[in-house]
Structures are given as structure tokens and as C-alpha cells.
A and B are shown apart, each in its own frame.
Chain A
Amino acid sequence: MHSSWWLTFLILVPFVGAIGAALVRKVEGRAYVVGIGTSAIELILSVVVACLYNDHIAKAQTFDFATRHVLSAPFGLAYDVSIDGISLLMVVLTALTVLLALLGARDRRQEPAFVAWMLLLTCFTMGSFLSHDLLEFFVFFELTLVPCYFIISQWGGKERAKAALKFFIYTFTGSAFLFVGILYLAFQYQHQNPNSALTFSYSALSSTAMSHGTAVWLFIAFAIAFAVKAPIWPFHTWSPITYAEAPTAGSIEMSALLAKLGTYGLLRFAVGLFPLALVSMRPVILTLAVIGIIYGSMLACTTPDLKRFVAYSSLAQMGFITLGVMSGSTIGTVGAVLLMFNHGVITIGFFLIIGFIEKRRGSILIKDFQGLQGPAPVMAALFTVVMLASIGLPGLSGFVSEYLILIGTFATHTWWAVVATTGVLASALYLLWAYQRVFHGRAEGANAEITDATTSEKWVLVPVVVLIIVLGVFPKPVLDRITPSVHQLIAHVAPAGLNK
């Protein structure tokens, strides 16, 4: 067991950084340095935690760095953090996302506030992934809304007010269901154990006995909140406008990172806590996931602007993740966890490149572009790598995860996997078509004068490309960390729900 201080630092460092960025606001550009420094430290910390976690697996205890302090007994409020193979990847992704978002999508308007909000968002997201207590998770989960709201509403595009409000109300309503569900579960537990104080501890609540009906209702309540966050069809309608109107860094944070909070919550809490509900709810959620894959792919073909394009392709990808999460097979779930990370990295790449193009041309409408690969060959090449990873080309990261998801789901829910496979083809269709429209052809007018990626822009994308290739060729170290935790989770829920 490692010291929990590592995890506490992971939460505290960005918080302190945010305060620091606010304090140095008088000096031009100083806040940005603080932001980069903080997120670099955060990334190093998270990688160290990821490496330390490794030798722990041998001891077959899947939760590491754990600690629990009750903060307020009447509320059942506790500080309870720990980490396993599933949250581990998310922690690294959190730190990586904020660093790349700050580096690649710098926004100079009121920079100190922007940096402070970004770091606060990192702090809260980190807290959500590290929480091992349902109330604590909910607090962090809700708190992520505030920085997001301010980032969209102050640094977004023309329709930013509408987008921010829509995003907040949607997610807040979803959380209402989650909150009532958590309270209900906690009291169910307390009524069964009259001598214990009110507690929201994950390990305690996972032992709550409940009827099938109760489990189904609680599962639905939890699933609604996470389906809105992810988003899963048909709860996705906030996401295209929000991704399109948010500043690039905000889009990156939301689609690469906060969306994962939805699927992570679905796996950890909805699946992990209510195994009884899975028998009846699995087909429902799987169907929604498959619809999301098809629907997202179709809309990605027709959408007029690049950010919405990524939003819809993300909807399809989130469909794949949901498919794996709900597949009930260890392989499929491992694939889903891996895809959460890979999709995060790929989306960072997409949004960064779109941000670069937007900065040069002031537009994200697909019809405004033509033949960009002539004047900007490096940018086109980088886009190609990211795109091919998203399509799932063997040898790149997307392939490994999608492949695992599909074979896992095929073993347990054959027909859903069969239909979902068409989504892989569809992704090739919409991505290649979009590439064709933007980068192919002859560049004229403003398109011909576009400049290629600058040195710093290239360097920001290097980690993305490296991760795409490394995880495509050699995912073993990562898979080794995920698998035992997933296996334990599936073994916990399997007796009730798995037929194969």
C-alpha cells in the first residue's frame, strides 16, 4: 500500500496552482507560466503514481493509495481516495489533457482567470476520478460544472451564453437523479445496518442488499446522470452546440476528459453497484450505445462545421465505450477503459488541429476549406495520423481498443456487436470524406495563404502522435494495469448478470 499523500497532492497541486495564477494576475503572461508549470508537475506526479502502481498488482489488491477520513459525521461526508487500474488511466489523462490544452490552445483574453479556471477544473476532475466515496464523487462531479460553465460563457463563441446554460442545466438535471439515487442507496444501507453512521463509502455501499426492482430504479437514476455527461444517445443534444461554442481548450477538456467522467461513472458506480439490474438493463443500454454509434456517424457525415463534426464522431466513439462497459466481458470492458484514454488523446489531437486552423482562418465551417494540404503539409500529416487512429487502423491506438470491445461484446451480446461493427466502417467514411473536403483539392484564396504548423504547434502534437503509435504497437504495460481491476469488477457483478 502506497501513501495516500500522492493522491492528495494530485488534487491539491492544481488547486494551489489556480490560486497562484489568480495571485500573479498583475504581471502579463505570468499566470500562463504558473499554469504550464502546475500542469507539468501534475503530469509528472500522475506518471509517477502510474509507475508506482505497477509493482502493486502482484499483491493482488486492486485498490491502492487508499485512505479514508470522515470529515463530518452528521452528513456522512468523508475524504476517501484510492486508485485502481481503471481510474489510473483517467488520472494520467486528466493531467495530460490540461497540459496540452494550455500549451496548444492558449487564450490571451483575461488569461489569469482562464488559467485559474482550467486548473480548478483539473482539480475537480482529478477529485472525481480519485474518489472512493459516493458523496465525495458527487461533490467533485458537480463542482466540475462551475469552471466549465465559466470557461464556456466567457471565452466561447457567439452563442456562448446559450451553450453554457444548456450545458449546465442538462448536466445539473442529470445529477439530480444521481443525487437522489445516492441518497436512497445510502439510506438503504443504513436501514440494513442500524448501528452504523450515515456513510457513502463505496466499499460499504457495494454490499447493500436490494431487491431487483430497487436495483433497476437505482441503476436508471445513476445511468441518466452518466448518460448525459458522456453523452449517450438520446441525452447528447447539449454536446454539439457546447463543443462548437466553447473555446478550443474548453472543448478539449469537455470531450477528451469530462465525457469520460460519464463512462467511468457508468462502469464504476452504475455497473459496479447494481449487478442485479444488469440482466434487464444491459440490452437497453447496449441498444442505446449502438444507436449512438450509427446516429453519431450519420450526423458526422452531414454536419457543416469541424467542431460539431468531432462532437458527433465523439458520440459514436462514446457509443463504443458504452458498448464495452456494458458488455459484461472482461475483454470488452478492458477495451472500453483503454478507448476512454485513446479517445481522449485522439480528441485532443483533433481539437488542437482544428484550433490551429480556426486561428488562421477564423472559421470552422467545412465548406470554407479546400486543399489545405498544399500550403500546410505537416498539419495535414498530423491530422492524418489522428484520423487514422480514430478510424481504427491497425498499428494505431484506436484499433486495439475498438477491437477488444468488439470481440468482448461479440462473445456476450453477438448481435449488438455485429451492428456496432458497421460503425467502424462508417467512421472511415465520415473521417475520410471530411479529410477530403478540407485538405484535398486545389487551395485558392485565403486557403492558399494558410501557413503550416509552427514549431511549437508541432511539439504540442508530438505527445499525441507518440501515444497514438506507442499504444497501438505496444499496449501491454497499460493493459496489464487495467486488466486485474476490470477482472475483479466483472467477477463481482458477473454471477448475477452474465450468461457466458
Chain B
Amino acid sequence: MKLVIPSIHYLAILPVLIFFGAALALVLASALARGKVPLVVATSTVIAAATASIVVNFWQWRCVAKAGASVTIAHAIVLDDFSVVASGVIALSVIMTALVAHDWAIRERVSGVEFHILALASSAGALLMTQANDLIVIFLGLEILSIGLYVLVAFDRHRTTSLEAALKYFLLGGFASAIFIYGAALVYGATGSTNLTTISYFLGSNVLLRPGLLYAGGALLLVGFAFKIAAVPFHLWSPDVYEGAPTPVTGLMASIVKVGAFAALIRVLISALGTQLDTWRPILWILIVLTTVIGASLAVVQRNVKRMLAYSSINHAGFILLGVWAGTIRGTAAALFYIITYAPIVVATFAVVTLIGGVGDEHHSIERYQGLARRQPWLGGALAVLLLSQLGVPLTTGFYAKFTVLASVVDAGGGELALIALISAAIAAFFYLRWAMALYSDDGLEAARVVVPRPTAVVIGFGVLVTLVFGIWPGPLATLAQHATVLFTP
């Protein structure tokens, strides 16, 4: 038997290689260097790698514009505008998280470069997911992404909650991965391939007389994804893990996991199983109703802001799913637009939460935020803007994100679904506002000022800037999202 090495288009996988390479370089440096590698070096490496990846993204974008979308490595990896944009968002989130984690590490006296190595490796997995054109590669990306995160969640090893969260995440995550790979096996059994393009072609040109195997496989794949994006009823891990994980890690999870998992989910459902739209739509319908309504309702009763944000991110996941439900190009573009705008906001929000958490990363009750905007108008005001953006107030990107997904759903004939989701947004308004109100309350004026290190300030400022600038002028981002999804054919 002769092993044939498929041709590799290196430009397509360059971002993944850069991230892995940087992780490897840090591993080697920490092994070879005399003494410890300074934190600054590690942070700069991450930022340099992510920046390089973004530069490559521009290059890829031009390449796609010239030569069109392409597949490589035996059709397992795809290079199209969608993957380019999603990779860019991941790299941006990584830069923001690295800056926040830098200050966090100084405050918590965490030395060593392990944090950054794991973050780089995890992000490489997320990048792989955005480009995967094969169920096996999606699984690979999912595992790389998750394994790094399992460790990162446990990073505060002196804190029991952190360890507990990691264990919970690990067990349930492993279980979900198993379900996913089982689903992939069943789909392979039904269609004869794990390649998304082939599956799509097969389903488009054949009629399955006994589709049970395909349905079972598809359902299991969906469960695997639903776990990763924390859709109700597969969300139970997320509040505990969000709460237990070190706050910068929570920010990273809320951004890159969502981007990677949604990119892969969209590819599987829209590209591969697009012909089965009528089958998965009702399932997704129920999933969305549960996710949006339960996510928002349970957030209302939380007193811990990290748990609150966990439920809020569940609610947001429901909104992104709306775009997927639509199953149209408009819907896909809307989901992508939602992801692009949500990632920087959520990282910036968690950056503020990291600061307020204080030494030990333990003060996350909402009382801690009372009077913050009175003591520190810029920090408190920034958080208020970020919260209003998540709430979906006009003149912030949050509004346009909700607007586009809802528009795509109404366009696809789902008026009731849009209404239910919007009412869940009204429920969600309750806790965003309660938080915002705490910021401006008259109590807690005597509490100590929170020190805002420059890198974290940059991250928060960037998040606010993105949400306000594109909130007033959303055109470029919308055009970008539209461009990126032109090639998706439902």
C-alpha cells in the first residue's frame, strides 16, 4: 500500500500553522531558556502570532477574491471568505484576551508561559474548525480547542471552584465529543463520506429511502454542537464553568468557542445538510425557543455577574441560532455578523469583570459594582455601554446584530420565532439594566478605586469603540458578512 500525500495549499492553513508554531516556540523557549521566560515575551508572542494571522487573513481574502474559494489537503480544509472572516475574529479575540490575561497574571502572580501556550493551542483548534470541510477535521478542531480549555479552566488551581469547573467541563465535554464523533460515524454510514461537500452532493443527487441513519447521525452532531455553544437543554455546564474559570479564560471561551463552533455548525447544517432543511428546522426551532427564553429567564435570578453573563451568552447563542434557522444566505450572513460583533463586546465585558474581581478573582457579586460609574466614570460608563450593546439598544452593534438575525428569520417565514426571541430579549433587559443601575447607584461610593492597567484599558476601549462606531455606521461590517457568505448555497 502506498501512502499518497495530498497536495497542500499552505496559504490556506497558514493561520493555524502560525498559532501552533507560536505555541511550540513558547514551549521550546520555556524548556531551553535559563530561568523563566518573562511574561512580556509570552504576551508579545501571542499578540505577534495573532497579528500575523490577521495579516495572513488579508492576504487570503485577496487570494479568494482573485481565485475563488478553494479546498485543499484532500478536500478536508476549505479556504473561503467565511473562514477568513471567522479566523480574523478569533485572532482579534485572542489579542484582546492576551492583553487582559497579561494584567491578570501580574495581579495574580501567575508566572510561566503555560497560559499563553494553551490559549494559542486552543485558538488554533478554533481556527481549524472555521476551515474544516470534513466531519473528522471538525472533530479534530473541537478536541484541540477543548483540551486546551479544560486545562485553562483549572488554571486557578488554588481555587476549588476552578478545579470543579474544569472537571465538570472535562467530563461533560468528553461526553459531548463522543456523541459528536458517533454522529459523524452514523452520517458516514448513511452517506458514505465524512466530507461535507461530498455529503451535500450525495444528498442532493440521491433520495434516501430509509433516512433514519442520517437523521440519527445529524441529531447527534447537533447535540455535540449544542453542547459547545451551550444551547438549552445542553447548557448545564456553562454557568458553573463560566463562574469557576479564571475570568480571562471565561472571556476567551465566550468568544473563540462560539466563533469556532458556530462556524462549523453553519457549515454542517447549511452546506452539508442544506437539503435536509425541512427536517432540522423544527428541531432547531425548539432549541432556539428554549435557549433564548430559558437563558434570559435564568439570568434574571443570578447575583453573580459571571453566572449572569453565562446565561446571557446562552441567550445570545439562541439569537445566533436564529440566523442558522433561517437557512438562507441572509441568515448565514446575519449569524456571522452577530458573531463578529458579539466577540469583541463579550471579551471587553469580561475584561471589566476581571478588573473588578480583584486579587484572587473572587468578587463577582453584583453588589461589588454599586456606584462604580460614580467612582470611575470611564470604567463604569464603558461597562454600561457594553451592557446596553448586549441588550440591543440602537446605536450599538448589538441592535444591528439582533436586527439582522431577526430580519433573516422573518424573511424565512418565522415571525413567531422572531417574536419569542425578542420577548426573551426583553426579559434579558431586566438583568442588564439591573447591573447598569447598580453602576450608577448612590451606594458604594466609598469603595476603593479599581486600578485599570493600560493593556486592559486598551481592550475595554476597543470593545466600546467597536460597538459604538459600527453601531452608528454598521455598513462595512454588514457588507463584510454578506461578502463572506455569498458562496453558501442552501
Contact = CB atoms under 8 A, between A and B. Distances in A.
Interface of A: 71-75, 77, 138-140, 142-143, 145-146, 149-150, 153-154, 161, 164-165, 168-169, 172-173, 176-177, 179-180, 183-184, 186-187, 190, 198
A302 to B, nearest CB: 31
Contacts of A177: 419
Given A75-B404, A176-B419, A183-B410, A169 B430 contact: yes
Given A172-B429, A173-B423, A143 B395 contact: yes
Interface string B374-400: 000000000000001000011100011
Contacts of A198: 407
A75 B410 contact: no
Contacts of A139: 394-395, 399
Contact of A142 (B393, B415, B418, B474): B393
A26 B473 CA distance: 31
Given A146-B393, A183-B406, A165 B474 contact: no
Q: Is the interface of B mostly helix, strand, loop or mixed?
A: helix
A176 B433 contact: no
B482 interface: yes
Contacts of B104: none
Contacts of B136: none
B176 to A, nearest CB: 33
Contacts of A168: 429, 433
B429 A74 contact: no
B366 interface: no
B423 A72 contact: no
B20 to A, nearest CB: 36
A74 B474 CA distance: 9
Given A180-B406, A183-B407, A183-B418, A172 B426 contact: yes
A165 B434 contact: yes
Q: Which of A72, A74, A146 has the most CB of B within 10 A?
A: A74
Contacts of A143: 393-395
A179 B406 contact: yes
Contact of B479 (A74, A140, A149): A74
Given A74-B475, A142-B393, A180 B419 contact: yes
B411 A187 contact: yes
Contacts of B434: 165
B89 to A, nearest CB: 18
Given A74-B478, A176-B423, 12 more contacts: A71-B475, A73-B475, A139-B399, A142-B399, A153-B437, A165-B437, A169-B426, A179-B406, A180-B415, A180-B419, A184-B415, A187-B410
Given A139-B394, A183-B406, A75 B426 contact: no
Given A153-B440, A168-B429, A180 B410 contact: yes
A161 B430 CA distance: 11
B440 A180 contact: no
A169 B478 contact: no
A179 B392 CA distance: 12
Nearest to B413: A187
B403 A75 contact: yes
B422 interface: yes
Contacts, number: 85
Contacts of A165: 430, 433-434, 437
B415 A149 contact: no
Contact of A176 (B393, B422, B430, B478): B422
Contacts of B423: 173, 176
15 contacts: A72-B478, A74-B478, A74-B479, A74-B482, A75-B404, A75-B474, A139-B395, A142-B393, A143-B394, A146-B393, A168-B433, A172-B429, A176-B426, A187-B411, A190-B411
Contacts of A176: 419, 422-423, 425-426
Contacts of B403: 75
A232 B407 CA distance: 29
Cβ-closest 4 pairs across A and B: A176-B422, A72-B475, A183-B410, A74-B478
Contacts of A154: 440
Given A168-B433, A173-B423, A150 B394 contact: no
A74 B83 CA distance: 21
B418 A180 contact: yes
Contacts of A140: 394
A172 B423 CA distance: 8
Contacts of A164: 433, 437
Given A74-B478, A161-B437, A142 B429 contact: no
B437 A180 contact: no
Nearest to A160: B437
Contacts of B440: 150, 153-154
B422 A169 contact: no
A116 to B, nearest CB: 12
Contacts of B433: 149, 164-165, 168-169
A499 B21 CA distance: 78
Contacts of A72: 473-475, 478
Interface string B292-324: 000000000000000000000000000000000
Contact of B400 (A75, A186, A187): A75
B210 to A, nearest CB: 37
Given A142-B393, A146-B388, A169-B430, A179 B437 contact: no
Q: Which of A75, A142, A164 has the most CB of B within 10 A?
A: A75
Contacts of A172: 425-426, 429
Interface string B427-455: 00110011001001000000000000000
Contacts of A190: 411
A220 to B, nearest CB: 12
Contacts of B430: 165, 169
A149 B433 CA distance: 9
Interface in B109-146: none
A72 B478 CA distance: 9
A150 B380 CA distance: 14
B483 to A, nearest CB: 10
Contacts of A75: 400, 403-404, 407, 474-475, 478
A73 B404 CA distance: 12
A271 to B, nearest CB: 22
Contacts of B404: 74-75
Nearest to B388: A146
Nearest to A174: B426
A42 B394 CA distance: 24
B416 to A, nearest CB: 9
B289 to A, nearest CB: 14
Interface in B346-394: 388, 393-394
Given A74-B478, A74-B482, A75-B478, A180 B422 contact: yes
Q: Which of A139, A183, A187 has the most CB of B within 10 A?
A: A183
A180 B429 CA distance: 17
Interface string B465-476: 000000001110
A42 B479 CA distance: 37
A276 B124 CA distance: 57
Given A172-B426, A183-B407, A187-B411, A142 B479 contact: no
Nearest to A187: B411
B422 A77 contact: no
A339 to B, nearest CB: 30
Q: Which of B395, B399, B406, B422 has the most CB of A within 10 A?
A: B422
A26 to B, nearest CB: 13
Interface string B143-178: 000000000000000000000000000000000000
B374 to A, nearest CB: 9
